[in-house]
Structure 1
C-alpha cells in the first residue's frame, strides 16, 4: 500500500467517524432517520438543513467505512484465519462490550438524579422503546441491552464488521470466483434492503465485498479514472440529496408509495457521494494531513466512535431544553453541540491515553498509538 493511499484511508476513517456526530446530532421531531424517512413537521430552513445534512449529504460515510474495512482486511488475509479472528475479537468485540457497558452505566448514573433523569427520558434512546429507569427494567432487560440492543446504538457497525470478518473466507471466495454473480446480488440487496437480519447489514455487505474485490484485482483507487466526471458526481450527490429532502417533507408518511422513491434516491446519492468524495478530495486531504492538529485528532477516531453516543443525544436534549428562548436555537444547537462533543471526546481520549494507556488500549482495541 502506498503512503498516499494510507493517508487517504486514515483521513476518511477519521472524517467518516467524526461526521457521525452530525448524523446522530439532529434534533428533528423524527428521532430516527432511515433512508425512507419522511418529516412530519413544517418545512423551515432549520428542518431542511438538518435533514439535508444528517440524512442526505453525510450518508456516504458508513458505506465508505465498509469499503475501507474490506480493502484493508483483504490486504492482510495472508495471515492464518484463526489468528485473524482472534485479533478481530480483541479489536472489535471486546471494545463493543466495553462501550456498551459504558453507555448503560452512564445512562444509569444520569437516571439517579431527577433533573438528568428527565433529560434521559426525553431523549428516548432505548432501542426496545422502553424508556423506564433501568431499575424498573430488571437484569434480564439489561442483559439484552448489553448484548443486542446497546444504548450506544452506533456499536451495530463494529458487531456487523466482526461477522463480515468471521465469514470472510466465504466472502473472499465469492468475490474471487463468482464476482459477476456475487457483486450484482449484493448490490441488489443494498439497493432494496430496508430491514437487515441480526448481525448482518446487507447494505454494508455490498461495500465490504467491493473493498475486497478492489484489493484482489489490484484496481487502482488513487488516481481519478478517465471515465469519471467529478462535476457530474457532485451534481448527482448534492442534487439528489436536495430533491430527497424536499420530498421527505411533502410525501405521505409510512406508505410504500413514499418509501420506494425515497430509498432509490437515497441509495443513488450514496453511490454518487462515495465517488465524489473519494476522487474529489485529494487536495483537501493533502492540506489536512500536513496539519499537526489533524494528525493528532485523527488518532482518536475509534474513541470518538465509542463515546459520542449516548453522550451526544443527552447533551443535545439538555441544550434544547435550555436555549428555547434563543432565535434559531435548534439550528445553533445542531451546529455547536456535535462539535463540542467531538472536542470533548478527543480531550477525554487524550487524558486516558496519557495517564492510563493500557486501559485506553483495551477500550480502543489497540488503536490510536
Structure 2
C-alpha cells in the first residue's frame, strides 16, 4: 500500500480533474462528428483500406473512447457538489443552488435562447435571399414552442428485447446542452440523492449501475439514467470521503480488462445485435471513465503535467457553442475543410474526422480569449463566470 500513502492524493485528484476537462470537451466534438460506421466484419471494404480506417476510427474514437466525456463530467459534478457536504444543511443547499444558478441555469437559458433567435433570424433572412415565406418562420416557432428550452430534439431511438419501451435521448435546441439540462435536474434533486447515498450506502449505487447498464429506466427528458448514475456515483465518493483517483488506480487492471472485453463485443456486434451492443457500450463507458482518471493522474504524478487555466476555463464555451445552430463552429469548420481538402474519398473523410474537432476546439479557445479581453461581462455570462 506504500504507493497509496506516499502521494498527496487530494492534490493529485484536483489536478487530475482539471487536466481531464479539455480532452473531454474535445471528445464531445468527436462524438458530434457523427461518422457513418458499419460492422467491420460484414462490410464490403477491406479493413486496411481508407474506408476501413475511417470506419475503425469512427468506432474507436467518436463511438468509442469519446463517449466517456459526458458521464465523466457528471461524475466530477456530483463529486464537487458534495465534497464539502458531509452533513445535510438546507442553508448549504441554498448556497450551492445560488452558485449553480450562475454557473448552470443562466448560461443554459442564454445559449438556448441565442440559438433559437439565430434560427429565427436565419429563417427571416431566407425570406429575402431564398424566397421563403413568413409561414416557414411561424412554423419554426410553432413546432418548437417552449420545448426549445428542454426537449425539441430527439435522437438515438433504440429497441431492446428485454424492455417494453423504446429508448431515446432528447435535448434542447442547443443540442449538447442536454447534459446541462440533466445536470440542473440532478442538482436540484441533490437532497434526494444525498438521502439515497446516505441510507442505502453502496447498494443504491449498484442498483443505479444495473439500471444504467440494462436501460431499466424510463424516457423522461431531463431525468436520464446517465445523469443519476454518474452524478450519484460522484456523490457517493464525496460523501464517503473516497478519492476517485485512488479507487481508479487500485482497480486499474480490472477496469482495463473490462474496457477491452466490452469494446471487443461492441465492435464485433456493432449494427448486428442491439442488445449486446447496448450492454457492452455501457460496461465499456463505466470502466473507461475510471481508466481516464488513471491515465490523467499518472500524467500529473509521473510527468508533472499541469492543467492549463485558459483551456480549463474555455471548456464550457467550447461545449455550448460548437453545435449552437446555425453558428456552431464545428459545422463551419466541417464545411470549410470539405472545400479546402479536395476530393470526396475516405482519405479526406479520415483526415477531417481526426483534425476538425481539434481545429474547432482551439478556434473556440481563441474566440473565448478575445471575448474575455474585449467583452468580459458577456464572456462571463455565457460561460457561467468560469
User: Do both proteins adopt the same fold according to a TM-score greater than 0.5, normalized to the shorter chain?
Assistant: yes
Kept after mapping to 2: 8 A contact 1:312/1:338: no
For residues 2-52 of structure 1, the C-alpha deviation after alignment (integer angstroms, 9 at most, x for no partner) is: 33222111112232122211111233279xxxxxx9999756221221122
For residues 74-96 of structure 1, the C-alpha deviation after alignment (integer angstroms, 9 at most, x for no partner) is: 02445532232232222211111
Cα–Cα, structure 1 residues 67 and 83, in superposed 2: closer, same or farther, change >3 Å?
A: same
Cα distance in 1 for partners of 2:210, 2:136 equals: 40
Kept after mapping to 1: 8 A contact 2:107/2:383: yes
Kept after mapping to 2: 8 A contact 1:51/1:245: yes
Give runs of aligned pairs for residues 66-85 of structure 1, distance below 5 A. 66-77=74-85, 79-85=91-97
Tell me, yes or no, if structure 1 residue 28 matches structure 2 residue 36: yes
For the pair shown, which has the larger CA radius of gyration, 1 or 2? 2
Tell me, yes or no, if structure 1 residue 155 matches structure 2 residue 155: no
Alignment TM-score, normalising by the size of structure 1 = 0.80
Partner of 1:266: 281
Partner of 1:60: 68
Partner of 2:384: 365
Partner of 1:315: 332
Cα–Cα, structure 1 residues 229 and 94, in superposed 2: closer, same or farther, change >3 Å?
A: closer
Tell me, yes or no, if structure 1 residue 216 matches structure 2 residue 239: yes
Partner of 1:34: none
Structure 2: which 5+ runs fail to align? 1-8, 46-51, 153-171
For residues 160-185 of structure 1, the C-alpha deviation after alignment (integer angstroms, 9 at most, x for no partner) is: 11111111111101100112442222
Partner of 1:139: 141
Cα distance in 2 for partners of 1:236, 1:316 equals: 36
- Find 1:91's aligned residue among 103, 106, 112: 103
Partner of 1:196: 219
Tell me, yes or no, if structure 1 residue 174 matches structure 2 residue 189: no
Alignment TM-score, normalising by the size of structure 2 = 0.77
**CA positional deviation for 1:133:** 9.5
Kept after mapping to 2: 8 A contact 1:22/1:338: yes
Q: Which moved more, 1:5-14 or 1:210-219?
A: 5-14
Cα distance in 2 for partners of 1:284, 1:226 equals: 13
Kept after mapping to 1: 8 A contact 2:54/2:350: yes
**CA positional deviation for 1:107:** 4.0
Kept after mapping to 2: 8 A contact 1:319/1:333: no
RCO comparison, higher one (Cα < 8 Å, 6+): 1
Cα–Cα, structure 1 residues 3 and 49, in superposed 2: closer, same or farther, change >3 Å?
A: same
Over the residues paired in the alignment, what is the CA RMSD in angstroms? Answer: 3.2
Kept after mapping to 1: 8 A contact 2:81/2:96: no
Structure 1: which 5+ runs fail to align? 31-36, 119-131, 252-257
Partner of 2:373: 354
Partner of 1:296: 310
Cα–Cα, structure 1 residues 330 and 185, in superposed 2: closer, same or farther, change >3 Å?
A: same
Cα–Cα, structure 1 residues 60 and 295, in superposed 2: closer, same or farther, change >3 Å?
A: same
Partner of 1:129: none
- Find 1:186's aligned residue among 197, 208, 223: 208
Cα–Cα, structure 1 residues 320 and 341, in superposed 2: closer, same or farther, change >3 Å?
A: closer
**CA positional deviation for 1:326:** 5.1
